[in-house]
Amino acid sequence: MHIHILGVCGTFMGGVALLARQAGHTVSGSDQNVYPPMSTQLELAGIKLCEGYCPEDITDQVDQVVIGNAMSRGNPMVEHVLNNNVPYTSGPQWLAENVLSNRWVVAVAGTHGKTSTSSMIAWILEYAGLSPGFLIGGVPANFGLSARYGEYPFFVVEADEYDTAFFDKRSKFVHYQPRTCVLNNLEFDHADIFDDVGAIKKQFHHLVRTVPGEGKLIVNGGDPNLDDVIEMGAWTPVEKFSVAGEHWSIGACTDDGSTFEVCVDGKPAAQVSWRMHGGHNRLNALAAIAAARHAGVPITQACEALGSFKGIKRRLEVLGDVGGVTVYDDFAHHPTAIVETLAAVKELSAGGRILAVLEPRSNTMRMGVHKKRLLDSLQQADEIYLYQPDDIGWNLKDLARHSSVSAGVYEDVGDIIHDVIKQARSGDHVVIMSNGGFKSIHTRLLQALEKQAA
Same domain flag for 275 and 150: yes
Domain membership flag for residue 311: no
Check residue 453 and give its pLDDT.
76
Dmax over Cα atoms in the chain, in whole Å? Answer: 63
**Angstrom distance (rounded) from CA 79 to CA 85:** 10
Q: Is the pLDDT of residue 49 over 80?
A: yes
Average pLDDT score, the chain: 90
Check residue 452 and give its pLDDT.
84
Domain membership flag for residue 97: no
Domain membership flag for residue 200: yes
Same domain flag for 284 and 351: no
Q: Is the pLDDT of residue 307 over 80?
A: yes
Same domain flag for 114 and 213: yes
Q: What is the mean pLDDT of residues 422-448?
A: 89
Q: Which domain holds residue 366?
A: 317-453
Same domain flag for 222 and 164: yes
pLDDT digits (tens, 9 = 90+) for 310-361: 878 777 788 889 989 999 898 877 787 888 888 888 887 777 899 999 888 7
- Report CA-CA distances (Å) from 138 to 54, 121, 147, 167, 391: 28, 14, 9, 26, 26
pLDDT band of 366, cuts 50, 70, 90:
low
Q: What is the mean pLDDT of residues 387-414?
A: 84
Q: Is the pLDDT of residue 93 over 70?
A: yes
SS (H, E, C) 18-70: HHHHHCCCEEEEEECCCCCCHHHHHHHCCCEEEECCCHHHCCCCCCEEEECCC
Check residue 445 and give its pLDDT.
93
Q: Is the pLDDT of residue 17 over 70?
A: yes
* 3-state SS, residue 329: strand
Same domain flag for 221 and 291: yes
**Angstrom distance (rounded) from CA 408 to CA 378:** 12
Domain membership flag for residue 312: no
Q: What is the mean pLDDT of residues 39-45?
A: 88
Which one of 133-147, 286-300, 348-362, 421-435 scores highest in mean pLDDT?
Answer: 286-300
Choosing from 92, 120, 141, the residue where a domain stops is 92
Same domain flag for 301 and 431: no
Q: The CATH number of the domain where 23 resides is what? A: 3.40.50.720
**Angstrom distance (rounded) from CA 283 to CA 117:** 9
Check residue 190 and give its pLDDT.
65
Check residue 107 and give its pLDDT.
98
Same domain flag for 327 and 244: no
Same domain flag for 176 and 302: yes
Check residue 299 and give its pLDDT.
97
Same domain flag for 267 and 363: no
pLDDT digits (tens, 9 = 90+) for 210-255: 999 999 999 999 999 999 999 999 999 999 999 887 799 999 999 8
**Angstrom distance (rounded) from CA 418 to CA 416:** 5
Q: Is the pLDDT of residue 365 over 70?
A: no
Same domain flag for 256 and 118: yes
What crossing angle do the helices spanning 335-348 and 279-294 adopt, rounded to 10°?
Answer: 100
Same domain flag for 231 and 117: yes
Evaluated on CA atoms 58, 64, 68, 72, the torsion sign reads positive
Q: What percent of the chain has pLDDT over 70?
A: 97
Domain count, the chain: 3
